[in-house]
């Protein structure tokens, strides 16, 4: 397994010399194996490590047990560790997200915040080949385009996935060979989320069609990753030629004389790229919306406007289509407020639409380090 990880690190240039790497560790087999492997490779790649664990506060005592487990593991490995807390259930309710989405959001905000705090330039997470196959299927079932089919990228911004080529089976074998114990996430076993259903129902069934289904899906993801990368490069090229940015990028003016001759594939990519730039929504626009924009471009008359999801819109002027974000409230971004926080207790901050709950825990309960984390959008208590 370590050879596969090294190959992945080199192929996708995941590490630079002297870097500090934050390891996202849930305590499951994958992140425990990741930590162990990265620790072994520390000298070879001249990196330093730090562990981060987020308690999602979803599973009470079990979650506490996991946090304790990760702290103890970190100490045994001689790696510094930060433990954080996020009330995922509350976050899900407030932002109308599924528990899984809320957990992911909280986790990534926590990891990014911690990395910044400790000065880590990379965040390594334990996603592996099975995860990638599951993600591909998840997106396929929703009717995604090529971006969804690349599954999970080996590298995205400063997040790296050294285990992306390794299967769950290989990870479990690695753990047993190195006597690594790990915790078992009970939510994983229940078929409550689509992803878990894919893992426990669909993928085992697909093995009947192809015993090497994980490898097959990962191969597809890998091919599409590079094709997407190429299309991204092309899209940025035509963006430079066809789009004029106005008002600090808050308005994007698409010049039709440059747009119309483009291949349909590039037109679609360019519309989605403009949309992402305007809204900050990385997942981009759904196919039906992209096609609606294209129809609008081809058939809409000057002066007309169409609404797009996420508060974006586009209107037509002579020779161009302008994308912008509606109701973009500059003031809101700049709101400043001070509030005394009750410890222990509940503090409501209406300006941020947030509720902060606090309680006092002993150092043993919390683990290696006390971590307080908040964000304008999320609600993170202690």
What are the residues binding a copy of itself (CB under 8 A)? Answer: 140-146, 149, 194, 197-198, 202, 205-206, 209-210, 212-213, 215-217, 219-220, 222-224, 226-227, 229-231, 233-234, 263-266, 268, 287
How far apart (Å, rounded) are the C-alpha atoms in residues 18 and 356?
38
Q: In what order do the strands lie in the sheet with 251-255?
A: 243-246, 251-255, 320-325, 312-317, 305-307
Whether the CA torsion 44, 46, 47, 48 is positive or negative: it is: positive
Tokens 């606090």, residue located? 358
Neighbours of 75 (CB within 10 A): 14
Closest CB 244 distance from a copy of itself, rounded Å: 24
3-state SS class at 321 = strand
Of the pair 63, 213, the CB lying nearest a copy of itself is at 213
Neighbours of 253 (CB within 10 A): 17
How far apart, in Å, are the Cα atoms of 183 and each of 2, 53, 73, 372? 22, 13, 11, 24
Of the pair 181, 210, the CB lying nearest a copy of itself is at 210
Of the pair 231, 349, the CB lying nearest a copy of itself is at 231
Closest CB 230 distance from a copy of itself, rounded Å: 4
Closest CB 205 distance from a copy of itself, rounded Å: 7
Max Cα-Cα span within the chain: 69
Closest CB 376 distance from a copy of itself, rounded Å: 34
Closest CA to 256 of 312, 303, 317, 324: 317
Closest CB 151 distance from a copy of itself, rounded Å: 12
Q: Are strands 312-317 and 305-307 parallel, antiparallel or unpaired?
A: antiparallel
How far apart (Å, rounded) are the C-alpha atoms in residues 208 and 334?
56
Answer whether 297's CB lies under 8 Å from 259's CB. yes
Q: What is the 3-state secondary structure (H, E, C) of 7-44?
A: HHHHHCCCCCCCCEEEEECCCCHHHHHHHHHHHHHHHH
**Burial group, residue 118, by CB count within 10 angstroms (0-12, 13-18, 19+):** middle
Of the pair 212, 317, the CB lying nearest a copy of itself is at 212
Of the pair 140, 355, the CB lying nearest a copy of itself is at 140
Closest CB 298 distance from a copy of itself, rounded Å: 13
Closest CB 15 distance from a copy of itself, rounded Å: 20
Stated as kind and residue range, the H or E segment containing 314 is strand 312-317
Closest CB 111 distance from a copy of itself, rounded Å: 29
Of the pair 103, 217, the CB lying nearest a copy of itself is at 217
Closest CB 7 distance from a copy of itself, rounded Å: 13
Closest CA to 135 of 218, 31, 51, 254: 218
Of the pair 136, 308, the CB lying nearest a copy of itself is at 136
Contacts of 363 (CB under 8 A, 6+ apart): 370
Closest CB 154 distance from a copy of itself, rounded Å: 13
How far apart (Å, rounded) are the C-alpha atoms in residues 169 and 177?
12
């Amino acid at each position: 397994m370590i050879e596969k990880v090294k190959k992945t690190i080199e192929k996708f240039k995941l590490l630079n010399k002297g870097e500090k790497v934050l390891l996202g560790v849930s305590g499951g087999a994958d992140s425990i194996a990741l930590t162990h492997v990265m620790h072994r490779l520390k000298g070879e790649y001249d990196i330093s490590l730090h562990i981060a664990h987020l308690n999602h506060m979803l599973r009470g005592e079990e979650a506490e047990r996991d946090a304790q487990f990760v702290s103890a593991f970190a100490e045994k490995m001689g790696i510094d560790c930060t433990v954080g807390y996020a009330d995922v259930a509350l976050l899900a309710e407030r932002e109308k997200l599924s528990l899984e989405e809320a957990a992911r959001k909280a986790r990534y905000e926590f990891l990014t915040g911690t990395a910044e705090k400790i000065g880590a330039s990379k965040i390594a997470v334990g996603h592996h080949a099975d995860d990638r196959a599951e993600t591909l299927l998840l997106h396929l079932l929703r009717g995604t385009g090529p971006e969804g089919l690349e599954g999970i990228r080996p590298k995205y911004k400063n997040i790296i996935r050294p285990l992306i080529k390794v299967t769950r089976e290989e990870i479990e074998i690695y753990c047993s060979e190195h006597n690594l114990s790990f915790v078992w996430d009970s939510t994983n076993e229940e078929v409550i989320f689509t992803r878990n259903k894919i893992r426990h129902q669909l993928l085992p069934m697909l093995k009947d069609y192809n015993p090497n289904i994980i490898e097959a899906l990962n191969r597809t993801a890998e091919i599409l990753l590079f094709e997407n990368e190429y299309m991204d490069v092309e899209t940025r090229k035509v963006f430079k030629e066809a789009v004029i940015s106005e008002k600090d990028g808050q308005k994007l003016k698409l010049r039709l004389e440059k747009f119309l001759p483009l291949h349909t594939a590039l037109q679609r990519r360019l519309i989605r790229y403009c949309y992402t730039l305007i809204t900050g929504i990385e997942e981009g626009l759904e196919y039906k919306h992209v096609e609606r924009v294209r129809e609008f471009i081809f058939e809409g008359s000057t002066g007309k406007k169409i609404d797009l999801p996420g508060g974006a819109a586009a209107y037509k002027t002579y020779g161009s289509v302008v994308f912008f974000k509606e109701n973009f409230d500059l003031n809101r971004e700049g709101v400043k407020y001070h509030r005394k926080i009750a410890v222990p207790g509940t503090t409501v901050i209406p300006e941020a639409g947030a509720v902060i709950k606090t309680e006092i825990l002993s150092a043993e309960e919390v683990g290696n380090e006390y971590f307080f984390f908040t964000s304008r959008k999320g609600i993170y208590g202690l």
